[in-house]
Amino acid sequence: MTEPVPIKSPANLESADIEDIDGRRQRSARSRAAIITASLTLLDNGNLSPTAKQIAEEAGVGLRSFFRHFEDMDALLDAVDRQTRAHYEKLFPLSKSDGSLEERLSEFISVLSNAFERLKRPMQYAQFQMWQSKALQRNWSRNQQILRDNFEAWVPELDRLSHVKREAACAAVSFDMWQRLRVTQNLSINDAHDAILTILRGLLDEGQ
């Protein structure tokens, strides 16, 4: 009968064994990072619906390697969001601004316009794929709530509006509104900024 091969415990692993394990872990981490980077690259290049095969090819890994790291596309989308969240959250206001109502409204819209322009590809992708992704639905909902909380902290005058007008104000500062003004109505960044400012002025003036 063949003698069983003893399993090495951490205490009696040879240095070569440890280096081999570390090497595999590093290669695995590099492959995972390459897959996430490839997803963002395809997105930046305008592919709003990349397949696992396309992502794997862009990352330079095999399709089997892709599914070793991510069981499905939803798992990948969640990992992409976790890796990029710190970056995109910095683009949005996080504290209350000082100044007059007009100044605060204008500054808030300026911050939004900069963020929406820089993040338009991933946000378009999220909207395009959201119907089939629980991860995107969850992350989109979280981000919309953060944006709303920031807006209400920046413009406490919203408290005096009726429920319907308050909801209209929040809709005015949404990515959907920005996209409509910039893409559907073909406005410049400055004109889109002024259009949203006009909407908010009207709502808040009526609320006085």
- pLDDT tens readout for residues 117-162: 988 888 888 888 888 888 889 889 988 998 999 999 899 999 999 9
Structure confidence at residue 18 (pLDDT): 45
Q: Would 117 be classed as within a structural domain?
A: yes
Range of the domain at 153: 85-206
Same domain, 61 and 131: no
Quote the percentage of the chain above a pLDDT of 70: 84
pLDDT, position 21:
47
User: Considering only 12-21, 40-49, 118-127, 151-160, which range has the smallest mean pLDDT?
Assistant: 12-21
Is the residue at 4 inside a domain? no
**Tally of helices (H runs) and strands (E runs) in the chain:** 10, 0
Same domain, 61 and 104: no
On whether both 121 and 187 belong to a single domain, the answer is: yes
In terms of domains, do 124 and 169 share one?
yes
Q: Is residue 34 domain-shared with residue 91, that is, in the same domain?
A: no
Is it the case that residue 52 has pLDDT exceeding 80? yes
Of 19, 39, 70, which one is at a domain's C-terminal end? 70
CB 142 within 8 A of CB 148: no
What are the start-end ranges of the H helices in 6-72? 15-44, 52-59, 63-69
Contacts of 160 (CB under 8 A, 6+ apart): 207, 208
Lowest mean pLDDT across 4-8, 142-146, 168-172: 4-8
Do 93 and 64 fall into the same domain? no
Mean pLDDT of 151-180: 95
Instruction: Tell me: do 63 and 135 sit in the same domain.
Output: no
- Among 70, 94, 116, identify where a domain stops: 70
The CATH number covering residue 59 comes to 1.10.10
- Whether 111 maps to a domain, the answer reads yes
Q: What total of structural domains would you count in the chain?
A: 2
Place of tokens 């492959």: 31
Query: Which sign does the torsion angle of CA 149, 170, 127, 185 carry?
Result: negative
The answer to whether residues 57 and 91 belong to one domain is no
Q: Are residues 90 and 146 in the same domain?
A: yes
The answer to whether the beta carbons of residues 139 and 126 sit under 8 Å apart is yes
SS3 assignment, position 127? helix
**Residue 35 maps to a domain:** yes
Distance separating alpha carbons of residues 104 and 119, to the nearest angstrom: 22
Residue 187 lies in a domain: yes
Assigned domain for 1 exists = no
- Give 204's contacts (C-beta < 8 A, 6+ positions apart): 101, 105, 155, 157, 158, 161, 169
Judge if 96 and 158 occupy the same domain: yes
pTM score:
0.73
- For the chain, percent of residues with pLDDT exceeding 90: 42
Give domain status of residue 2, yes or no.
Answer: no
Dihedral pair phi/psi, residue 96, rounded to 5°: -70, 140
Q: Is the pLDDT assigned to residue 174 strictly greater than 90? A: yes
Q: Would you say residue 78 has pLDDT above 50?
A: yes
Instruction: Give the integer Cα–Cα distance in Å for 137 and 156.
Output: 28
